[in-house]
Structure 1
Amino acid sequence: MTGTATELDRDLDIAGATRSERPWQTVVWNDPVNLMSYVVHVFRTYFGYPPPVAERLMLAVHHEGQAIVSEGPRELMELHAQAMHDYGLWATIRKSPE
């Protein structure tokens, strides 16, 4: 994949920006396999999050069992979830609550 997830978000959000429907979310779940430092690395590498944001999201995954790492159109969230799977993380998508 070329570019960052943030660039992909900008490119694909054009269609979703005009819709009034609820956005979708990419959720990363806690697992017994991946190190916390690796999860931070994935969030920084794929999403381009700065260290404090990546660490906050990782701690939410670790302590709360999950973290919403991205929100937007369904197709984009599916891409993000697949990317998380490719990195070995557990991820799903869901509609944002009303």
Structure 2
Amino acid sequence: MAASPTVTPDRTSQVVSKPYPNYKVIVLNDDFNTFEHVANCLMKYIPGMTSDRAWNLTNQVHYEGQAIVWVGPQEMAELYHQQLSREGLTMAPLEAA
């Protein structure tokens, strides 16, 4: 009698790793922060922020009411959100990207 091959069942409970969600840091328009203050805060606290990008985002905040100034991991988003808030910028709550 010939031996039959061993068949292993498909795994039904595989572990699927999902990346952590990114979070958006959003600055809102207000009537008391100057363009210069907003742009300077963005350059001071957001890594890699250039002067041109900071001014473009500041204009977006003013003319469109808000701008996403950074997107990334929650822990860093919380830090940048807190730093910008402490400088007096009006911030939207963090939201998943």
When the two structures are superposed, what TM-score results if normalisation uses the length of structure 2?
A: 0.73
- 1:94 matches 2:95: yes
3-state SS of 2:94 partner: strand
2:20–2:73 Cα contact (<8 Å) kept: no
CA distance in 2, matches of 1:45, 1:35: 15
Consecutive unaligned residues of structure 2, counting only runs of 5 or more, are 1-16
- AA matched with 2:32: V
Consecutive unaligned residues of structure 1, counting only runs of 5 or more, are 1-17
Q: How many residues align?
A: 79
Residue pairs, 1:22-61, within 5 angstroms: 22-47=21-46, 48-61=48-61
Larger radius of gyration: 2
CA distance in 2, matches of 1:84, 1:19: 30
3-state SS of 1:44 partner: helix
When the two structures are superposed, what TM-score results if normalisation uses the length of structure 1?
A: 0.73
2:21–2:74 Cα contact (<8 Å) kept: no
RMSD: 1.6
Instruction: Give the helix-richer structure, 1 or 2.
Output: 1
Show structure 1 runs of 4+ deviating over 3 A: none
